[in-house]
Amino acid sequence: MTMTKRDLVIRISNETGLVQQQVLDVVQKTLDYIAEALSKGDKVELRNFGVFEVKVRKARIGRNPNAPATDVPIPQRSVVKFKPGKEMRAEVFKLSPDGHPLAAEAANNAAPQPQTNNH
Kindly report the average pLDDT of the chain as a whole number: 87
Residue at 79 is within a domain: no
In a domain, 24, yes or no: yes
Host domain of residue 13: 1-42
How large is the C-alpha radius of gyration of the chain? Answer: 23
pLDDT at 24 over 60: yes
Write down the pLDDT at residue 96: 76
Can you list the alpha helix ranges (DSSP code H) found in the chain?
5-16, 20-39, 86-93, 103-110
pLDDT grade for 111, boundaries at 50, 70 and 90: very low
Residue 85: DSSP 8-state? -
Specify if 80 maps to a domain: no
**Whether the predicted pLDDT of 39 surpasses 70:** yes
Look at residue 97 in the predicted model and tell me its pLDDT: 77
Of 38-47, 92-101, 110-119, least confident by mean pLDDT is 110-119
Does residue 37 form part of some domain? yes
pLDDT mean over 72-99: 90
Whether residue 75 is contained in a domain is answered as: no
pLDDT value of residue 1: 86
User: What total of structural domains would you count in the chain?
Assistant: 1
pLDDT at 64: 85
- Asked if residue 7 is part of any domain, the answer here is yes
Whole-model pTM over 0.85: no
Q: Is 77 within a domain?
A: no
pLDDT at site 100? 67
CA atoms within 13 A on the CB side of 50: 13
